Amino acid sequence: MKKVALFLLCICFASVSFSSDMGPTDALKGQIDEGLKLLSDPKYKDPSLKKVQREKIWEIVRKAFDFTEVSGRALAVNWKKFSPDQRKEFTEVFSEILGNAYLDKIQGAYKDEKIVYIGQEMVTDSKAIVKTKIVREKGEILVDYSMKLKDSNWKVYDVQAEGISLVQNYRSQFNEILIKESPDDLIKRLRKKLDEQQKADKK
């Protein structure tokens, strides 16, 4: 009996650590499917539950993305100007801004759109690009996910839509700001942006 229990335990652990054997596409697809399941769950049709649904999706997004890496790459060389505390604060506010900006869209648009997995490209053993496209009412959007293996999990650190890298786009904006302003100013501006977003959302 004990042996059986041990065996079952082993299987449990094995399935947990399987994530590392899983390729980047499977990892990404797993997260996206989980999100889609939530989105199509009839339970959340009730408008009062939209908030709960949103929080659950946010949880999945947090698991799928490595926001520290996203933030670091968006700051690039400017990363060195930030103290560890500032880096942490920056990452928190920035990821909330991204979440706010894109969650509504994800919540609203999934019905009219389909995701097709085109393929994956291994850049190194621990880095990959997963190529997908979103098929919309009219036309398609190519979306590439840059993924990195971290602690045996594949996580997204950049998204490229029609060749436009999210990280590079923010880098150009942060650069522009950091030429004239300090890291604290930038964090302040991010907070202001977040406030604006939340106010606009409440309307």
Partner 1 sequence: MKRFPAVIACYIALIAFITVSPSYSAPDVLLPEDGSVSMMETGKDPLPVILIAEGSDYSDDDPDFLKEEAREEVIRIADPLYYWNKGMFHFNDKLYFWFLKPVATAYRAVIPGMVRSGVQNFFNNLEMPVRFVNCILQGKFEAASNEFARFIVNSTEGILGFDDPAKNYPELKKGDEDLGQTFATYGIGNGFYIVWPFLGPSTLRDTFGMAGDRFLKPVSYIEPLEVSLGVTGFRMINATSFKIGDYESFKKAALEPYEGLRNAYIQNRQKKVRE
Site for partner 1, rule CB under 8 A: 47, 50-51, 53-55, 58, 62, 67-69, 72-73, 76-77, 79-80, 84-85, 87-88, 91-92, 95-109, 112-113, 134, 136-139, 141-143, 161-165, 168-170, 172-174, 176-177, 189-190, 193, 197-198, 200-202
In the complex, minimum distance from the CB of residue 109 to partner 1, in angstroms, rounded to a whole number? 4
Report the C-alpha gap between 148 and 127 in whole angstroms.
5
Extended beta strands in 11-139, E state: 114-124, 127-135
Q: Which is nearer to partner 1, 21 or 201 (CB)?
A: 201
Q: Which residue has the tokens 């700001």?
A: 177
In the complex, minimum distance from the CB of residue 12 to partner 1, in angstroms, rounded to a whole number? 23
Bridge partners (DSSP) of residue 153 are 150
CA 39 remoteness from chain centre:
16
In the complex, minimum distance from the CB of residue 121 to partner 1, in angstroms, rounded to a whole number? 15
Which residues in 118-130 are b (16+ Cβ under 10 Å) and which e? eebeeeeeeebbb
Q: Which is nearer to partner 1, 37 or 88 (CB)?
A: 88
Angle between helix 67-75 and helix 84-109 axes, rounded to 10 deg: 110
Q: Which is nearer to partner 1, 152 or 169 (CB)?
A: 169
DSSP SS3 for 77: helix
In the complex, minimum distance from the CB of residue 20 to partner 1, in angstroms, rounded to a whole number? 18
In the complex, minimum distance from the CB of residue 53 to partner 1, in angstroms, rounded to a whole number? 7
With vertex at residue 64, the alpha carbon angle to CA 56 and CA 97, rounded to the nearest 5 degrees, is 70
Interacting residues of 147 by C-beta distance below 8 A, sequence separation 6+: 24, 27, 28, 127, 128, 129, 130, 154, 155, 156, 157
Q: Which is nearer to partner 1, 26 or 68 (CB)?
A: 68
In the complex, minimum distance from the CB of residue 148 to partner 1, in angstroms, rounded to a whole number? 9
Q: Which is nearer to partner 1, 7 or 196 (CB)?
A: 196
Q: Which is nearer to partner 1, 37 or 51 (CB)?
A: 51
